[in-house]
Structures are given as C-alpha cells and as structure tokens.
Structure 1
Amino acid sequence: MSILTLIIVGAAAGFLATRLMKIEADIPTTIVIGIVGALVGGVVLRILTVITGFAAGFVGAVLGAMVLIWLYRMYIARR
C-alpha cells in the first residue's frame, strides 16, 4: 500500500476503532490514531511478509481469528 492509501484507510480505521472501543475522542485525535495505527500495522505486515512470506499470512489469519473470538466473547456470548 502506498502512504496515501494508508492515511486514507487509517482515518477510516481510526473512526471505526474508536467507535468499537467506545472511546470518546475528537475528530483530529481519531484520525491520528487511525493513521498511526495503519502506518504501524502496514509496516509490521510488510516486514512480516518479506521475512516470512506465506507464514505471515498464516499469522495474520490466526490473529484475525483471535480478534473475532474476542469480539464474540465480549459482545455475543454475554447475551
């Protein structure tokens, strides 16, 4: 991803993340959180992909599954 794409995606991700985590933040803070998160995440995933290749995809899949399990336990299983 290019830096511009990471910034655009990051702004949207920051908005979504603050809503999901129920954090009250102003718009500039929300955008900065998302942009920094997208930049850090993009760099980490790029490094993992270069270093480990296919294994990075597997690690990403496991992390994604862990997040979904956490979300399930926090929001659905409590009902």
Structure 2
Amino acid sequence: MTLIEPIIFTGAALTGVAGAILGIRADPIWGLAGFVGGAVRGVGGFIGGVVLGGASLYTLTFMLGGLLVLKARYTRKP
C-alpha cells in the first residue's frame, strides 16, 4: 500500500459515517417502524458515503497527481 491509500480509505469511512448520521436523523425514530427505517437509512447512507466518498477522494487525488506530473514535465523542458 502506498501512503495515499490509507488517507483515501479513512476519508471514505468518515464520509460513510457522516452519511449514516444524516440518514438516521432524517426522520424521527419513534416506534419500531421509525427505528427500523432509521437503521436502513443509516446503512444506506454509510454505503453511499463510502462509495461516493472513496470515488471522489480517489478522483481528486488522481487529478492532483496529474497536475503535479504536468508541472514537473513543463519545468524540465528547455
């Protein structure tokens, strides 16, 4: 594993936790139906947050790396 992969995985997990919290707090969780609905929304928010958070962090890191490579190539030319 490189140095950036743990950062991407940690960011994706934190995004998933934020999605789970927002999913649970979307509606009141009174009663059994509200509790089950909140749990399902929380799991959906966690999965969506991990997938979208990981994809966006990977894309952002890839784009920044590409810009750094282009900058390094531009400065080497005479």
Task: Name the TM tier (shorter chain).
Answer: 0.3 to 0.5
| TM-score, normalization by structure 1 | 0.46
Q: Which has the larger radius of gyration?
A: 2
Greater relative contact order (Cα < 8 A, sep 6+): 2
